[in-house]
Structure 1
Amino acid sequence: MLVLALDTSTPEVTAGVVALRSPHELIAALQAGPAVRPATVLAQRKAVAPLGHAEKLMPLVSEALAAAGHTLRELDAVVVGIGPGPFTGLRVGMVTGAALADALDVPVHGVPGHDGLARTLHPLPGELLVVTDARRREVYVSGYRADGRRALGPAVVAPAAVPELLAEHGLTPTHVAGAGAALLIAPDLPVLTPPADAPALGLVEAAATPLLTGALPGPLVPLYLRRPDATVPGARKSVLGR
C-alpha cells in the first residue's frame, strides 16, 4: 500500500511517501530475518517554515513523489498529522490531505503527531514522555506505557506542571522525546532522537491497522488544545448608551 504522509503541526513541514507492507508480507519478512518495521519511507521532504506551511507543502509533496518514483494517482491512502499544534499550520495540512484524498478517491486518516513520534521509538523498555513546544511558555505533553498505549494527553501545560500531571496518571517515564524536551524544568530523563524518516514513518505505522483493514476513516478533528486567537467580534455598543 502506497501512502502519502503529511505533517504541518510544527514549524517543520513534512511530506513523505511510505510503502506499508500487507500482513502476509510482514509475516514473511519476520520469518526471513530479524524484526522489521511494517512500513518503509520511500522518500521524505522537509522544510522549516513557521509561517509558510501553505507555500511549502505541495511543492514538498511533488518532490517526495518524484524522489520515490511515483505519482499522485498511484497513492492508496493519505495520512495527516492532526496535532497538537497551532491553528494555521494544522489547518493547512489537514485541508490539503482531505482535498487530495477526495480528488484521488482514497481514504484519509488523521493521527496525533505525538502518537506518530512515539511509534517510531517503539518498542522501549519503559514508559515514554513526548513533549513539543506549545509556545506562550507552555508545552504539549503525551505519556505512553511501555506497550505503546497512550495514557496521558495530549495536553497543554506549563513545564513546571508536568511532574504533577505525570503523578496524576501514574506515569514514571524512563525516556523523553520531542522538540520540547529541553523546555522541561530540570529534565533528568534521557532524551531520545527520532529516526531520520520520522514523522512520515510514525504517522503511517500509527494508522497501519485501519489502513490495512479498510476501516472507514473518522472525521479529521484537529487537536488545537487552545482557542484560536481570532474570535468573532461581539455586538457593537451604542455610543449613545442605548
Structure 2
Amino acid sequence: MNVLAIDTATTDLVTGLVDPASGLIAERILKDTRAHNEMLIPTITELLEAAGMAFADIDAVVVGCGPGPFTGLRVGMATASAVGDALGVPVHGVCTHDAIGYATTGKVLVATDARRKEVYWAAYEEGKRIDGPEVCKPAILDTVAGTDVDAVIIPANLAAQLPESLRALPTHSAGPLPANLVVVADLQAQPAPLVPLYLRRPDAKEPAPKPRSSALSEVTK
C-alpha cells in the first residue's frame, strides 16, 4: 500500500510516500518555505519520480489538518482532496500536532507558530494527545497548558518567548514527518470529511456586502 502524506500546516512543506507495512519510501521536506501553493504539486511530482512511481500508484492520502494558518493549511488540504478525487482513493485527515507528538515520551507540550504573535499548542503523554489543540500567546502557555511537562517542542525562533517556568525545561524544534502522519491516521476507518483546525478566524476578511441596488429592488418586486 502506497500512502501519500502531505502537511502544510507549518512553515515547512512536508510530503512523503509511506508503506504502512514497511515504512518510509521517500520524503521531501522543504524547510521554512512560505511558497506552499507554488511548490506543493512540483514537490509531489518530484517525490513520485524519485520513488519510481506515478500518481496512479497512490492507494491513499493522509493530510495534516492543522492547527495552522488559513492560507497554508488550505493548500495542503485542497491538494489532498483533489488527488483523492482524481484517483478515487481515500483521504484521511489528521491533527498535525499528533504527528509531532507521536514520537515523544513522557509529558510534552507541542507548539507551532500561529502567527499574530501566538502559538498553537497541544499536550501529549507517551505520544498520545491529552489536551488541546488550542491557541494562545507563548508567554501564557504555562497558565493555559500547565507546567507538569518534561519538555517543550517549539520553533527555535519562539522559544525565547516562553514563560520562565517553561524555558527552564528542555526545548527543541520538530515538525511533522510523513511516516508519523501515516502512523497516527486510522487507515482502516471510513475517512471522515476533512475539517481544517484553524482555531480562530482567518486573517483574510470577507468583503462587506454591497448596498442593495435600487434597480434590483425594482426587479424583485
TM-score (norm 2): 0.86
Residues 33-91 of structure 1 show CA distances to partners (whole Å, capped at 9, x for unaligned) of: xxxxxx62211112246442111001110111122222211111000111111111111
3-state SS, counterpart of residue 200 of structure 2: coil
Residues 150-184 of structure 1 show CA distances to partners (whole Å, capped at 9, x for unaligned) of: 121111101122111123xxx61101113266132
2:67–2:198 Cα contact (<8 Å) kept: yes
The reply on whether 1:69 has 2:25 as its aligned counterpart is no
The reply on whether 1:154 has 2:137 as its aligned counterpart is no
Where does structure 1 lack aligned partners over 5 or more consecutive residues? 22-38
3-state SS, counterpart of residue 169 of structure 2: coil
2:140–2:163 Cα contact (<8 Å) kept: no
Partner of 2:5: 5
Partner of 1:92: 75
Q: 1:20 to 1:153 in 2, by over 3 A?
A: same
Question: Which is further off, 223-232 or 150-159?
Answer: 223-232
The reply on whether 1:206 has 2:202 as its aligned counterpart is no
The reply on whether 1:175 has 2:175 as its aligned counterpart is no
2:69–2:115 Cα contact (<8 Å) kept: no
Where does structure 2 lack aligned partners over 5 or more consecutive residues? 213-221
1:31-110 superposed matches below 5 A: 40-48=23-31, 50-110=33-93
1:6 to partner: Cα distance: 0.5
3-state SS, counterpart of residue 28 of structure 2: strand
How large is the RMSD of aligned CA atoms in angstroms? Answer: 2.1
Percent identity of paired positions between Structure 1 and Structure 2: 45
Deviant stretches of 4+, over 6 Å = none
Partner of 1:35: none
Partner of 1:127: 107
Q: Equivalents in 2 of 1:216, 1:116: separation in Å?
A: 20
1:49–1:56 Cα contact (<8 Å) kept: no
In the alignment of these two chains, the number of paired residues is: 208
Residues 120-174 of structure 1 show CA distances to partners (whole Å, capped at 9, x for unaligned) of: x24x1x211101111211111100123x32121111101122111123xxx6110
